[in-house]
Amino acid sequence: MKDEKSPSHILIIILMVISIILMSNMLNQLERNSIKKTNEIQNLKMELDVTNNKLQDAEIILNSYKNYFNNKNLNKESESDWQCFVITGYNANSGEQGTSNKTATTFNLDHNRVKNLPIIAVDPEVIPLYSIVEIEDLGAFIALDTGGLIKGNRIDILFNSRSEALEFGKQIMKVRIIENDDV
């Protein structure tokens, strides 16, 4: 007796081969996606490390600034150290303002610890980035950002919300740069 394959057996074998091929392709695609996601996670971890390092640097600067003001008699400063600036406010991730969650110095403003830093946007031709400045009656700020409209004697203070920035409005205030070698 001959061992003959019926057409239904052949069809089942063909369907099994097609299923194996499809499953193999799906597994390959899943593996590629997994590798891609792993790479994205590694890149995000590296970006977070960079942001954390910059944040630590900013905290060191801020602590140096605090020590400077705690140990210095501010009344001895010359009136010529102060200049008038137009001061306004802004917030991160505002489509209306054209802002993102990253400063010009690449600090990620979504990071909770950065939200507590007194950050300002400046014209780096007037106030160098990373400078510490005092705004009369407001305190000290770190120049970590720039802005398209921030030119000359103009400063934008980072606020946590758009409403806070709008409430601050536009003011003319005295500002002085604290020299880094004095800190």
User: What does the pLDDT profile of the chain (183 residues) look like in tens digits?
Assistant: 555 667 788 888 888 889 899 988 898 899 999 899 899 889 888 888 887 777 777 777 777 666 666 655 454 555 568 999 999 988 775 556 556 566 767 666 665 666 667 889 899 999 998 888 999 999 889 888 888 888 999 999 988 888 888 899 999 999 998 855 443
CATH (residue range 1-183): 2.40.40.10
Q: Which residue is associated with the tokens 């602590």?
A: 63
Where are the alpha helices (H) located in the chain, listed in sequence order? 7-70, 162-168
The answer to whether 158 and 94 have CB atoms below 8 angstroms apart is no
pLDDT of 53: 77
C-alpha distances in Å from residue 124, one per residue of 50, 120, 143: 22, 11, 9
Q: 3-class SS at 173?
A: strand
Cβ-based neighbour number of residue 160 at 10 Å: 12
Q: State the pTM of this model.
A: 0.57
Residue range 139-170, pLDDT digits in tens: 889 888 888 888 999 999 988 888 888 899 99
Distance in angstroms (rounded) separating the CA atoms of residues 158 and 131: 15
Q: Which of 141, 143, 135 is nearest to 107 (CA)?
A: 143
Cα three-residue angle 91-95-101, rounded to 5 degrees: 50
Distance in angstroms (rounded) separating the CA atoms of residues 160 and 180: 27
Residue extents of the structural domains in the chain? 1-183
Q: Is 169 left (phi over 0), alpha (psi -120 to 50) or beta?
A: left
- Residues with Cβ within 8 Å of 114's Cβ and at least 6 positions away in sequence, in order, are 51, 55, 58, 107, 108
pLDDT of 181: 43
Q: Which residue is associated with the tokens 């600036």?
A: 85
pLDDT of 75: 47
